[in-house]
Structure 1
Amino acid sequence: MLIFGAVFSCLDPIMTVVAGLSVRDPFLTPFDKKDLAESAKAQFSARDYSDHLALIRAYDGWKDAEGKQSGYEYCWKNFLSAQTMKAIDSLRKQFSHLLKETGLVNQKTENCNAWSHDDHLIRAVICAGLFPGICSVVNKEKSIALKTMDDGQVLLYSNSVNGVASKIPYPWLVFNEKVKVNAVFLRDSTGVSDSVLLLFGGKISSGGLDGHLKMLGGYLEFFMKPALADMYLSLKNELEELIQKKLLDPNQEMKLYDELLMAVRLLVSEDQCEGRFVFGRQQPVPAKKAAKEIQSGKGGVYNSKNELQTLLVRAGHGAPTYNTKQLKNKQFRATVIFNGLDFVGQPCSSKKLAEKDAAAEALLWLKGETQSSSKPIDHALLLLKKSKSKKRDRTPVYGSKWN
């Protein structure tokens, strides 16, 4: 996995994932605060259906907090193990040293992190490292059917971000570990698309029909147009050759393979994840649009920042604050902070949109519409109840109208 991370210039987050696979789960789940702990982890997941991406964001946040001498406070607030975070940090340093010693990474690691912001690419590299830990996903009306080649029907641990999801919009999950109790449970997992599995999974071969590809001895089968199948086979072979050359000659100049790497990045980012290459795969029923996509009753555009501020002010709290950072791909990611809680939004093209997205994440949690708990909780109602005594002495605030 580390080699793929170096080749595809997303080494930093991949080192975090590999280190996380070697230590105890840093996400704590106290029995008496299970719902709060699950909500805290859901903030890091950001509806990405990946425990590994959640770990990356949790570590990055901890690292920033450590620089401000507030690492323990960050862990306490987000139900994280400070000891495990330090262990991950130590392992990352060891990995970096070993990669530099072997020549796979030069002394200036900036070149190895040019695409560390690309979550699609990170998923692909995670798939390369965890395969053949692969599980098929079929969304049913009221449940999710999960199957592995060795165990048949399996389940997900409840502390996984995917374990509490009602639908998983990916045809496959890659995982590292499974545990058998009364049934077989998968621990941390990450959703991946057909393209990711075809290019970063195991060996693929042609089937008996044109456009028919097989993997794992025929257990996994994909059907597509013959020209498309030939393209996947060609890219897969070129990618494997590149990895072999890099292993034999760590100083191999990667600029010679820019077109190949760009084609792979484009494929994994543009795949809509509907599992269209799997025969008989049913399209999942589209979920309700998130609050940020809903329009107001008057026909005006919905503003999540306004609604969040109105809700907090009516509850007797101060206005939320926003911490927005520009990513290396020139997009923006915002974090909204209020009442000791942090909510991270998706990368957006502008600072304004990023802040709205973060506010929408917070509203989903407040309204109990996230998948962070098996029991829906109206956090907004709890927030209002806690500040009821404060509001008795306040003049009512009339902001945007509640629908």
Structure 2
Amino acid sequence: MAPHGPNSQGGLRGGGFSPGRAGGRRGGRGGGGRGGGGGGGGRGEQRWWDPVWRAERLRQQQVEMEVLDENEWWNKIEQWKTGGEQELLIKRNFSRGDQQTLSDMAYQMGLYFHAYNKGKALVVSKVPLPDYRADLDERHGSTQKEIIMSTETERKLGSLLNTTQESGSSSASASAFNDQQDRTSTLGLKRPDSASKLPDSLEKEKFSVALKERQEKLKATESEKALHAFREKLPAFKMKEEFLNSVSENQVLVVSGETGCGKTTQLPQFILEEEISSLRGADCNIICTQPRRISAISVASRISAERGESIGETVGYQIRLESKRSDQTRLLFCTTGVLLRRLIEDPNLTNVSHLLVDEIHERGMNEDFLLIILRDLLPRRPDLRLILMSATINADMFSTYFGNSPTMHIPGFTFPVAELFLEDVLEKSRYSIKSSDSGNYQGNSRGRRRDSESKKDDLTTLFEDIDINSHYKSYSSATRNSLEAWSGAQIDVDLVEATIEYICRLEGGGAILVFLTGWDEISKLLEKINGNNLLGDSSKFLVLPLHGSMPTVNQREIFDRPPPNKRKIVLATNIAESSITIDDVVYVVDCGKAKETSYDALNKVACLLPSWISKASAHQRRGRAGRVQAGVCYRLYPKVIYDAFPQYQLPEIIRTPLQELCLHIKSLQVGSIGSFLAKALQPPDALAVENAIELLKTIGALNDMEELTPLGRHLCTLPVDPNIGKMLLIGAIFQCVNPALTIAAALAYRSPFVLPLNRKEEADEAKRYFAGDSCSDHIALLKAYEGYRDAKRGGNEKDFCWQNFLSPVTLRMMEDMRNQFLDLLSDIGFVDKSKPNAYNQYSHDMEMISAVLCAGLYPNVVQCKRRGKRTAFYTKELGKVDIHPGSVNARVNLFSLPYLVYSEKVKTTSVYIRDSTNISDYALLMFGGNLMPSKTGEGIEMLGGYLHFSASKNVLELIQRLRGEVDKLLNKKIEDPSLDITVEGKGVVSAVVELLRSQNIRY
């Protein structure tokens, strides 16, 4: 049986038990892995280190084992299979061998199998099974937490609640979230029009004439003539007439073009020039979308320069938080997100004459979402012209999606680039990959590789099955031996170093661009280069890392040409594939992998693992060389593997969580989420859609009928993940708005903390300093920003950032985003910017900040369970998880409070939670999910029964009364944002603060 993982959505049938083999997180005793086994397990009286005790225990277990009757169980499973039940639960004490037999039976019957709870719960199912089931984990599946409250706290809460209920200050119905759907009509978004309104036909005619006269005058200048001569050399210019004719005659045109052909700068300009020359300038309203902010700005600036204008005249741009445009603007560049937000208020794109969607080959989620909307829009707007632009020759797929629309290809212009694959690199360089048993991988023997199942993938397996001596008989025996020792499981940093050294010793001049998967490999290679006798000479080599989390101090050097007799070597992730262009690159070293996010819908976890790239990405990497002269691409993987690469990367809509997209779909009022997404170019997995809808219901954005609630409609106005949006709203309501704005900006954009070369420990220490004793990454973000703000007031923000390993660029972006979020909260009535103090009464109250975080991040909850001198962490979906090494909580052994809330969990080598905050059960009870009576009749529960709480009758009554008042207040404020919480909700807020502060006495 092959191993299963996130891409197989539950693995092969019958593949749930496979001792000693790969199985995602499935391996381990009883086939349950970390999830199935229920975590680390308590030590108790167990003494597995004692050989005598161990032998006796194993003997006892053997005696206790039941014997599987294969015929009996075959018949039982066959009989169950014909019934209507989805799964068969088997709680029998079978040996591991008998469990494997059951697994094989299920496989033969076309069913799924998994062993949970250390093999004590065996499940045969008609549908794929997750790695972990909390309901089958006897030790860690659910925990009853006793709520203890001091007599004084009981008295104060009771008094505050009695006062509140007598005054009737919060009388909103508890069902207000789901009622009165018609109260909010439009979402009040500003429309990014690219043309001013010209109501009078005479005015429009005059305006068109003026545009034409100005364009002709600019063309006559000497500078414009020189620029025009440059434009004429671009491949796109040679196809100008064909392009314009196709646009005129067809509603949709798909254009593919190699990098550097001029499609992005010239095609929108051709339309603009033609429309203005034909005296249609007043009616011309062109929008061109770009997937990235920097692209929208740079392309608009380039075209303005080519037209001899300033940016913002006939050509402008609009991105989040920034725009440059005017009444004259006829061509507007914007991000795809900006256009999508316009479509909420203007679903017909009124007055837009031409829409160009660039970089569709990247298959970003926004782009695929936009294509669904546009395909539905075109019949309503027969006058609209749609041009889709791609950098790769995959036009047929898009053409078919739009009813076999015509296609057009523009050839590129680059110098020839030679390709060398691993076998050629080894043969040419005479580098030898050695087998090693030391565990420090430089290349493993094929025998050892077959034992490293957990790191294998289909392409690595494909290469292992090749007869090396036969397939590579034309190569030297040394090369064949190296190929025998090579493994695709991980990148061989020594091989990369040797390849760079070979280029520097024996090839001509020119910059070298190396593609690696992440910071770990970049830092390892930097360390090796610094210790290399040749490459470590800083007078001859300029070695520069390029990574998304790097400080921008050295960014200019990456693009600048180095001094004579000094070679530039750039170590980069796939950010250098298409987002940037380094003009002087002659040599590319391609390791063939990238860290790519995927989404395991079955286990509800994002996965960030190195994986083989697509042929399209490999083509882009090769294209980075040959920009200025003939180049060479060294591919450090065999051609056999390259030939098996997928043609294109999986689209983002298939490999990422969908809750923000689903919320956006509901805001467009286009019917059910599932039916809308089924119309996508490549529809996402139905389970991923179900997960997103379930989450939106859990946080109160959708009701049971999949309709937007009042909360959901407010969340639609905030351009962030729904959880972050909810945190902003709750922060405003509970007078804690400034911390919510800061943390939301960091989570929506990126962390301001950077990874400096060779100073990672110091950077981690700086982050821990900001966190203090809060046990919170979110507090660290907040305090870092507040420190930056204070330093900026004193004019020494640069020194502050340098000393504390912070990115000033990121902090400035966070500042802008905070202002945008505050404006949006003001627009929808949640804050009054003229009274900032009224909304920040509790902005320095750590308990309230943590509670607001809980409200926003729920249901991302982790149970903290003490295991000796350390803490183990458990989630409902995956059982035991780990704290990410970059978290301030990674070094905390014992936590004072029983839960963590977190921003994200991701699977790499393990399952990690990122950006976490330690919270009390009080915060969870007040701001978590709905409180339900426990199924046992004792206490209350939430998160589908995963979290149980018990308490005395009086304490339970107080908790439920206060939570009821909190819900009423929230419902009333969300229904009527003008409600003054400082007056109407004063008693409720005071009671919540009293309860939260009492946690300091309890713990």
The two structures have a TM-score, normalised by structure 2, of 0.27
User: What are the superposed Cα offsets for residues 324-362 of structure 1, whole Å, 9 maximum, x if unpaired?
Assistant: xxxxxxxxxxxxxxxxxxxxxxxxxxxxxxxxxxxxxxx
**Equivalent residue pairs, number:** 275
Q: Indicate the residue corresponding to 2:731 in structure 1.
A: 5
- Deviation of 1:152 (Å): 0.6
Q: Indicate the residue corresponding to 1:86 in structure 2.
A: 812
Unaligned runs of 5+ in 2: 1-726
Q: Indicate the residue corresponding to 2:919 in structure 1.
A: 192
- Deviation of 1:5 (Å): 1.0
Q: Does the Cα contact within 8 Å between 2:828 and 2:977 map onto a contact in 1?
A: yes
In 1, Cα distance between equivalents of 2:787 and 2:965: 37
Instruction: Find out whether 1:97 has 2:97 as its counterpart.
Output: no
Instruction: Find out whether 1:226 has 2:945 as its counterpart.
Output: no
> Which moved further from structure 2: 100-109 or 212-221?
100-109
Residue 790 of structure 2 aligns with an amino acid whose one-letter code is: D
Q: Indicate the residue corresponding to 1:216 in structure 2.
A: 943
- Deviation of 1:161 (Å): 0.7
Q: Indicate the residue corresponding to 1:343 in structure 2.
A: none
- Deviation of 1:114 (Å): 1.3
- Deviation of 1:155 (Å): 0.4
In 2, Cα distance between equivalents of 1:113 and 1:92: 14
In 2, Cα distance between equivalents of 1:273 and 1:30: 40
Other structure's SS at 2:895 match: coil
Other structure's SS at 2:754 match: coil
Residue 263 of structure 1 aligns with an amino acid whose one-letter code is: A
Q: Indicate the residue corresponding to 1:153 in structure 2.
A: 880
Other structure's SS at 2:891 match: coil
- Matching of residues 87-126 of structure 1 within 5 Å: 87-107=813-833, 108-126=835-853
Residue 990 of structure 2 aligns with an amino acid whose one-letter code is: M
Instruction: Find out whether 1:165 has 2:892 as its counterpart.
Output: yes
Q: Which of 863, 873, 882 is equivalent to 1:136?
A: 863
Other structure's SS at 1:177 match: strand
Instruction: Find out whether 1:57 has 2:762 as its counterpart.
Output: no
Instruction: Find out whether 1:71 has 2:797 as its counterpart.
Output: yes
User: What are the superposed Cα offsets for residues 9-52 of structure 1, whole Å, 9 maximum, x if unpaired?
Assistant: 11001110111111122112335112211111111111110111
Q: Does the Cα contact within 8 Å between 1:210 and 1:226 map onto a contact in 2?
A: no
Residue 258 of structure 1 aligns with an amino acid whose one-letter code is: K
In 2, Cα distance between equivalents of 1:273 and 1:159: 31
Q: Indicate the residue corresponding to 1:14 in structure 2.
A: 740
Q: Does the Cα contact within 8 Å between 1:211 and 1:228 map onto a contact in 2?
A: no
Q: Which of 240, 251, 262 is equivalent to 2:990?
A: 262
In 2, Cα distance between equivalents of 1:31 and 1:178: 26
Q: Indicate the residue corresponding to 2:903 in structure 1.
A: 176
In 2, Cα distance between equivalents of 1:185 and 1:273: 31
In 2, Cα distance between equivalents of 1:176 and 1:240: 23
> Which moved further from structure 2: 99-108 or 56-65?
99-108
Residue 40 of structure 1 aligns with an amino acid whose one-letter code is: A
Distance 1:269 1:122, change over 3 A: same
> Which moved further from structure 2: 183-192 or 207-216?
207-216
Other structure's SS at 1:97 match: helix
- Deviation of 1:211 (Å): 5.1
The structure with the larger Rg is 2
- Deviation of 1:253 (Å): 2.4
User: What are the superposed Cα offsets for residues 47-90 of structure 1, whole Å, 9 maximum, x if unpaired?
Assistant: 11011111111100101111222212111100111111111111
Residue 271 of structure 1 aligns with an amino acid whose one-letter code is: Q
- Deviation of 1:224 (Å): 0.7
Other structure's SS at 2:887 match: coil
Q: Does the Cα contact within 8 Å between 1:193 and 1:273 map onto a contact in 2?
A: no
Residue 793 of structure 2 aligns with an amino acid whose one-letter code is: G
Residue 74 of structure 1 aligns with an amino acid whose one-letter code is: F
Percent identity reads 36
Q: Does the Cα contact within 8 Å between 1:29 and 1:38 map onto a contact in 2?
A: no
Ranked by relative contact order (alpha carbons within 8 Å, sequence separation 6 or more), the top structure is 1
Q: Indicate the residue corresponding to 1:26 in structure 2.
A: 752
Other structure's SS at 1:217 match: coil
In 2, Cα distance between equivalents of 1:112 and 1:198: 23
- Deviation of 1:142 (Å): 3.5
User: What are the superposed Cα offsets for residues 199-232 of structure 1, whole Å, 9 maximum, x if unpaired?
Assistant: 1111111114565110011111011112211211
Unaligned runs of 5+ in 1: 276-403
Q: Does the Cα contact within 8 Å between 1:9 and 1:113 map onto a contact in 2?
A: yes
Q: Does the Cα contact within 8 Å between 1:132 and 1:201 map onto a contact in 2?
A: yes
Other structure's SS at 1:247 match: helix
Other structure's SS at 2:925 match: helix
In 1, Cα distance between equivalents of 2:886 and 2:781: 13
In 1, Cα distance between equivalents of 2:984 and 2:808: 42
Q: Indicate the residue corresponding to 1:244 in structure 2.
A: 971
Q: Does the Cα contact within 8 Å between 2:905 and 2:911 map onto a contact in 1?
A: yes
In 2, Cα distance between equivalents of 1:253 and 1:21: 28
Other structure's SS at 1:222 match: strand
In 1, Cα distance between equivalents of 2:839 and 2:744: 16
Q: Does the Cα contact within 8 Å between 1:193 and 1:274 map onto a contact in 2?
A: no
Q: Does the Cα contact within 8 Å between 1:162 and 1:168 map onto a contact in 2?
A: no
Q: Does the Cα contact within 8 Å between 1:192 and 1:273 map onto a contact in 2?
A: no
Other structure's SS at 1:117 match: coil
Q: Does the Cα contact within 8 Å between 1:174 and 1:191 map onto a contact in 2?
A: yes
Residue 904 of structure 2 aligns with an amino acid whose one-letter code is: E
> Which moved further from structure 2: 209-218 or 180-189?
209-218
Other structure's SS at 1:104 match: coil
In 2, Cα distance between equivalents of 1:181 and 1:239: 39
- Alignment RMSD (CA, Å): 1.5
Q: Does the Cα contact within 8 Å between 2:763 and 2:805 map onto a contact in 1?
A: yes
Q: Does the Cα contact within 8 Å between 2:751 and 2:781 map onto a contact in 1?
A: no
Q: Indicate the residue corresponding to 1:201 in structure 2.
A: 928
In 2, Cα distance between equivalents of 1:101 and 1:16: 19
The two structures have a TM-score, normalised by structure 1, of 0.66
> Which moved further from structure 2: 35-44 or 146-155?
35-44
Q: Does the Cα contact within 8 Å between 1:9 and 1:114 map onto a contact in 2?
A: yes
Instruction: Find out whether 1:37 has 2:37 as its counterpart.
Output: no
Q: Does the Cα contact within 8 Å between 1:26 and 1:85 map onto a contact in 2?
A: yes
User: What are the superposed Cα offsets for residues 229-264 of structure 1, whole Å, 9 maximum, x if unpaired?
Assistant: 121111112111111111111111221221111010
Other structure's SS at 1:179 match: strand
Distance 1:140 1:273, change over 3 A: farther
Residue 20 of structure 1 aligns with an amino acid whose one-letter code is: A
Other structure's SS at 1:218 match: coil
Other structure's SS at 2:774 match: coil
Other structure's SS at 1:187 match: strand
Other structure's SS at 1:162 match: helix
In 1, Cα distance between equivalents of 2:742 and 2:856: 13
- Matching of residues 298-309 of structure 1 within 5 Å: none
